[in-house]
Structure 1
Amino acid sequence: MPQIYFLCTGNSCRSQMAEGFAHQFLGPDWRIASAGLRVDGLNPRAVAVMAEVGIDISRQRSKLIDQDFLRTSDVVVTLCGDARDRCPVVPPTVSKIHWPLIDPAQATGTPAEQLAVFRQVRDEIGRRVKALAAQ
């Protein structure tokens, strides 16, 4: 069974949304997980914007990178420069992909403006996961 791992700094937003989209677009034929360099907890705005597109990530949890899952993955996707630069070394058989996405948790402004950034990042992640699934 193919395996994909989405990595970000705190495993709170981008990698969680990517995991949610992957479950939808890749389905049960894949082992899918996300993790971070640290555990920041699941961001409630990420949960809210994913619910807007019919994907429930509320039961996912923020977790640290599992070295065994990392080494046995077919694809590792980093969603921020920090994860890309600090990701542990993986075997050459692992396909590494980097998606340089802004961190929606750093958005400023009104709550509505912050949610708009979350939606923008969510939509970009959705497009990228869907394209990956089509390959």
Structure 2
Amino acid sequence: MKKILVFSNRNSARSQMLQGWLSYYLKDKAEVESAGKHIEPIHMLAQKAMMESVIDINKYKSKNISEFKNEIFDYMIIVDHTQADDIVLAHEPGVVIVHPFDNPGLAEGTDMDKLKAYREICNEIEDYAMEFAMKYFNLLQ
């Protein structure tokens, strides 16, 4: 089984959202983890946006990258503007992909405006997860 690490510095929304979508699309084909440099609670609007898509990320936790320092990953996907060289792992992942998504946590306005930003990122991340699954796992081909 392949191993995928999704990285976001703050590890509070985008990384868990991609973890959720990849876990959904790749089911028994890959083990997906997410981590970052800072441990923060998963944002409740990220959880809500994902639940609206019937993906439950409530069980995911924000984890520090140091927890995975010695693990071997086939893929590492960076979902913010962190440089791959800034991430310290004992074993370099087979494939490193930098695919930053806008940070929905920066959305301003009413609670509904903020939720809309999380929904939009949720949809973008789902599209990317499907593209990744098709490209690297020949899913749906």
TM-score, shorter chain, exceeding 0.5: yes
Q: 1:90 to 1:100 in 2, by over 3 A?
A: farther
Structure-2 separation of matches of 1:120 and 1:57: 17
In the alignment, is residue 106 of structure 1 matched against residue 106 of structure 2? yes
The runs of 5 or more residues in structure 1 that have no matched partner are none
After TM superposition, give the deviation of residue 100 of structure 1 in Å.
1.6
Q: Secondary structure at the match of 2:5?
A: strand
Residues 18-61 of structure 1 deviation map (CA, whole Å, 9 limit, x = unaligned): 00001100112211100111101111111000000010111111
After TM superposition, give the deviation of residue 101 of structure 1 in Å.
1.0
The runs of 5 or more residues in structure 2 that have no matched partner are 136-141
Structure-2 separation of matches of 1:93 and 1:54: 30
Structure-2 separation of matches of 1:96 and 1:44: 29
After TM superposition, give the deviation of residue 67 of structure 1 in Å.
0.7
Residues 75-127 of structure 1 deviation map (CA, whole Å, 9 limit, x = unaligned): 00000013646222675562000112111111111111111111111111110
Q: 1:48 to 1:22 in 2, by over 3 A?
A: same
Q: Secondary structure at the match of 1:81?
A: coil
The TM-score with structure 1 as length reference comes to: 0.91
Q: Secondary structure at the match of 1:96?
A: strand
What is the number of equivalent residue pairs in this alignment?
133
Runs of 4+ with >4 A deviation: 89-93
* Cα contact 1:104–1:118 (8 A) shared by 2: yes
**Identity of matched residues, %:** 26
Structure-2 separation of matches of 1:83 and 1:44: 27
Aligned to 2:35: 35
Aligned to 1:68: 70
